[in-house]
Structure 1
Amino acid sequence: MTHLTLNGKPVHPAAEIYVRDAKAGKLSRREFLARTTALGVTSAAAYGMLGLSAPVQAAAHAQQGGTMRMQMEVRALKDPRAFDWTQMAFVTAGWLEYLVEYNSDGSFEPMLLAGWDINDDATQYTLNVREGVKWNNGDDFTADDVARVITDWCDSNAEGNSMAGRFAALIDADSGVAIDGAIVVVDANTVQLNLPKSDITLIAGMSDYPAAVYHASIDREDPSRTPVGTGPYTIESNEVGVKAVLVRNEGHEWWGYAAGKGAYLDRIEYIDYGTDPSAWIAAAAADEVDMFYETVGDFVDVVEGIGWERSEVASGATIAIRPNQEAEVDGMKPYSDKRVRQAIAMAVNNEVCLELGYANRGIVARNAHVGPMHPEWADVPAMAYDPEGALALLTEAGMQDFEMEISSIDDDWRKNTTDAVAAQLRDAGFNVKRTIIPGSTFWNDWTKYPFSSTNWNHRPLGTQILGLAYRSGEAWNEAAFSNAEFDALLDEANAIPDADARSEVMAKLQAIMIDEGVTIQPYWRSLYRHAKPGFVGWDMHIAYLPQIYKIGMAA
């Protein structure tokens, strides 16, 4: 029974434990905020539990009006459930909003939800829908809309729908759709989620970029053709590979104005200069853009030479250079053999990947895709770097003469990191071919390459990223990893609210990832964004989430 109350209302029993651990120094502030706000505690209240005041948002010092031009790849849009790059969400964020927002300080904030409650064992979620919200076509936004979208998220039969991985606990394994009775509209402003098993990750899943809330009239092939949403902007133009433009929707009374949320700018332009950062620098020097979507590698120092301001955040963003275990090459599946995958991991020094691939702007990782920034991380040792042993193991598997083709996009840090992996494999005696693919075509089949590299965003929970990327059969499981023990342990971990107890199961999950040689995940990245002076609210987000309503020109 909890003794902790807020405004006279008892909070989740776990919150009292989190307060105690935070005050004892067992939890970082980010972990504390992530854990308590995921339970439904507001970030202001969570800060108050520690005797602190919530930080003042920089965008509070913005003026109304103005144009912001951001360098960013402009990619083709599709069904939001199938969004696989945040650049897509930066465009649709003008009119498609989210139930929940995840912030760089670790907190979860209600957006189209006014709040939520979770029972003690995380088997029932009560979602309180924000009242007074309108779609920009005049329709009321209600609990029916929330239930409709969550039902869509639970359709694992929909092509590319990664949201099904985030809501797996609500999905019937036989039909591939939501379990009867799992999503209940209680009244016009309340939705209840009834889970057959505990799952602590749903609020985090609602905040991820493919979780945009869309109207029933959406054009799933290109949402920009039917820009009905709840947000403050609409789309003026969207030319893939060139430019996309959002403008204030003057005919729509956005709910966020009354809530003091911002939406300061009148116009937002995303301009595509390709994948070569030197072209971005040239655009900045010529005053063709006001800020970058992201600044990478050695170009961090270069752009500061022209007087732009820096925003930096340490994150769980990373790169995975993975063999696809089901990929066929010349009539065989070369990476289905665990010895081949282990040999690859043993031949690569991750410190070299960080130095040559990302100019040492991060920390070394251990190929488990879970790290110290995740609350349930366990200190499991990496596989030893042993290039001689790697070649011996590859020879034992009869694959010493096999040519491994490793593909990557033609950009800066991802190409450089993949080059570093390929060079080390060659140094160990492996037969390696490097293939570099233009960004305009690389993303079309990014999950299907036999051996390639992909960037992955930060996620608040370690179990969340393992479920998205490595659970059997998931849309984003580009390694084609399928392991029944792993899947069962993941379900077990997601049912444990306390992160310390969950870390005992996570240790087993990390050990499987490392032992199976699932991927080379060499480092965790610090993320950077630069902007010319005069803008506020543009800080680099820890997970690249498109909080464009916070950006404005300085007052």
Structure 2
Amino acid sequence: MTHTSDGTRIHPAARMYAEELRAGLLDRREFLVRTTALGVSVPAAYAFGGLGSPAEAATPMQQGGTLRIQQEVRALKDPRTFDWTQISNFTRGWLEYMVEYNRDGSLRGMLLESWEANDDATEYTLNVRKGVTWNTGEAFTSADVVRMIAYWCDRSVEGNSMAARMAPLIDAETNKLMAGAVTAVDDHTVRIVLPISDITIIAGMADYPAAVVHSSHDPAAMLTNPIGTGPYLPESLEVGKKGVLVRNVDHQWWGASANGIGGAALDRIEFLDYGTDPAAWIAAIEADEVDMLYQNVNEFIAIGDAIGLEKSEVVTGATVVIRFNQQTLVDGTAIYADPKLREILVKAVDNGICLELGYAGLGTVAENHHVAPVHPEYADIGPAPYAPRDAAARLEEIGMAAFEHELVSLDDGFTKNTADAAAAQLRDAGIKVRRRVLPGSTFWNDWAKYPFSTTEWNHRPLGVQVLALAYRTGEAWNESGYSNPDFDIRLNAALSIADAEARRTVMAEIETILRGDWVIIQPYWRSLYRHFRPGVLGADMHPSFEIHLYKLGFAA
């Protein structure tokens, strides 16, 4: 290990990352996510990389007040099965996270104060923050951390996507946490010992299904018995209408006195559901019914600018995926299990047209492998193949010329528009396609099961995280039903490589396999936008749509 001038321990890989940053081979975001994931504190990472100091809020914030947020209000469920950021944004009032992923790409300790990784990322030491209490008055200790990791590692729980993030810690025979892999050294220290290297463990703890729950947690009683460590409590939740959080006046929130945290200035936070039509979102903020939007899209971004709202933008790995479920049956047959059929459909769609028509050109064209240029290990393998001319003839060859495909999407702005653009191109190529557009209340229930559909995917700090969640065999979020042992082997190898250049070499192979198996049409990477009223603080757009409630408030 090496050290910064203030004595902070620096992982050996961080020196290499700093050299790559200075040579222009890494940008700020890549450098920060890599170094902080290995245990370098955010201030130390900034100093070691010559980036100055982390930005601090310069505007004084008033105490109290009610902030109104436009956002879909969805039903609660067991946090490890959360499948939409909107659910977690509401529960963040009382359910907090061990680690926080921030706009600049850094990973900051929350319920964990810090962590360290050994040289090959096979052992992690987690330092539990002292002074944290549950709103029951009990201390938050290392026993809670060990219990949470075991909770995340339970593969028997349907829809538990956290198991994918903790995969190296899971016993293949029991589908639960391996005995002895995670131990409490003392009340504020936890040691994780992995059978293989894994650079994503800490980043996985920051993802939105990783909300930390009490030992008495009951998913059915999250509203009636809201035990957590956060500064707010749920007052009410009406699915599809309104959710309200209020300050927990009986709980001394740990963050108020923690160095570098602070905040939680508001007395009340209201989430108001205006559906999936962006025109309704703009109308609501223009009519002074809300103070900030969850996001803004397409032509409504210019409207938000024109009416004098503040705008926050971030370039991300957020995307839309048009995928075929290779296991879902259509009239008794898994028709999309045929790679020849998938190839014909994928090659008939021009991703650039989908970006222009689906998202008003507000992003960059993607390459059908779900690893973004903003990801540290992204490998440029060239543009996605586009060859629509012989589609009809090739369909005839495989006996699928008469089949009518049904492309399903949500009824919101950009996913609907993107699916419309893809369907139009398929029809232009002589492929029969009909569209089915569903309201959110219907679409979200079966989002992973449709034979042919369009899904919005959030940004993750590392490309290997996304691939492990979405395409590794048997994972809860593998909505394409994809299974390729060669892909799995190479992905698992990439997860263990701390050296970014070495990981990029393997990633080129992984991207090539995924694209060559014609798994998805993944047309573009989104720039994300949020509008809010002047004077609202802490509302900047997050790469993963997270709203860190304790940061919100009004200018004094």
Note whether the superposition's TM-score is higher than 0.5. Answer: yes
Q: 2:210 maps to which residue?
A: 211
Give the Cα separation in 1 of the matches to 2:121 and 2:316.
27
Q: Which segment is superposed worse, 268-277 or 20-29?
A: 20-29
Moved more, 304-313 or 235-244: 304-313
2:375 aligns with 374
2:545 aligns with 544
Residue pair 1:125, 1:192 contacting (<8 A) in 2 also: yes
Asked whether the 8 Å contact 2:116–2:124 carries over to 1, the reply is yes
Q: Would the aligned equivalents of 2:73 and 2:239 in 1 still touch at CA under 8 Å?
A: yes
The code of the aligned residue for 1:300 comes to I
- Tell me the amino acid that sits aligned with residue 432 of structure 2: N
For the structure 1 residues 198 and 539, does the alpha-carbon distance in structure 2 shift closer, same or farther, using more than 3 Å as the test?
same
Q: How far apart are 1:334 and its partner, in Å?
A: 0.9
Q: Show the counterpart of 2:337.
A: 336
Per the alignment, residue 108 of structure 1 pairs with 107
Q: Is the 8 A contact 2:2 2:11 kept in 1?
A: no
**CA-CA distance at 1:534 after TM superposition:** 1.2
Q: Report SS of the residue matched to 2:521.
A: coil
Question: CA separation of 1:528/1:383 partners in 2, compared to 1, >3 Å: closer, same or farther?
Answer: closer
Is the aligned partner of 1:415 residue 2:407? no
Q: 2:111 aligned with 1:96, yes or no?
A: no
Distance in 2, Cα, partners of 1:51 & 1:188: 35
Structure 1 pair 441–59 and aligned structure 2 pair: CA distance change class (3 A): farther
Alpha-carbon shift at residue 338 of structure 1 (Å) = 0.3
Query: Do the aligned partners of 1:118 and 1:125 also contact (CA within 8 Å) in 2?
Result: yes
One-letter amino acid of the counterpart of residue 431, structure 1: K
- Name the amino acid aligned to 1:164: A
Question: Which residues in structure 2 correspond to 1:6-405 (within 5 Å)?
Answer: 7-58=6-57, 61-221=60-220, 223-259=222-258, 260-405=261-406
Give the Cα separation in 2 of the matches to 1:9 and 1:350: 46
Q: Give CA-to-partner distance per residue, 1:296-341, whole Å, 9 cap, x none.
A: 1111111222211100111100000101001111111110000111
Distance in 1, matches of 2:216 and 2:160, equals 18
User: What do the CA deviations read for 1:31-64 (whole angstroms, capped 9, x no partner)?
Assistant: 1111111111111111111333323333763121
**1:406-427: CA deviation from partner (whole Å, max 9, x where unpaired):** 1001111110000011111011
Q: Which stretch of the first structure deviates more once superposed, 21-30 or 98-107?
A: 21-30
Counterpart code for 1:351? G
| 2:353 aligned partner, one-letter code | V
Aligned partner of 1:201: which letter? T
Q: Distance in 1 between matches of 2:223 and 2:154?
A: 22
| 1:160-209 C-alpha deviation (Å, 9 max, x unpaired) | 10000000000011211111111111111111111111111001100000
Is 1:499 the equivalent of 2:500? yes
Q: Give distance in 1, aligned partners of 2:492 and 2:383.
A: 24
Does the CA-based 8 Å contact 1:322-1:518 persist in structure 2?
Answer: yes
CA RMSD between the two structures: 1.2
Aligned 8 A contact 1:59 1:537 in 2: no
Specify the SS of the correspondent of 1:388. coil
Deviates more, 1:5-14 or 1:288-297: 5-14
For the structure 1 residues 485 and 221, does the alpha-carbon distance in structure 2 shift closer, same or farther, using more than 3 Å as the test?
Answer: farther
| Contact 2:391–2:430 (8 Å) recurs in 1 | no
Instruction: Give unmatched runs, 5+ long, in structure 2.
Output: none
Report the 3-state secondary structure (helix = DSSP H, G, I; strand = E; otherwise coil) of the residue aligned with 1:269.
strand
Kindly indicate whether the alpha-carbon contact (under 8 Å) linking 1:496 and 1:502 is maintained by their aligned counterparts in 2: yes
2:467 is the counterpart of 1:466:
yes
TM-score by length of structure 2 reads 0.98
Indicate conservation of the 8 Å contact 1:410/1:436, yes or no.
yes
* TM-score computed with the length of structure 1 as normaliser: 0.98
Query: Displacement, 1:220?
Result: 1.4
Counterparts of 1:6 and 1:520, CA distance in 2:
48
C-alpha distance in 2 between matches for 1:213 and 1:488 = 31
User: Is the CA contact 1:208–1:545 (under 8 Å) kept in the aligned structure 2?
Assistant: no
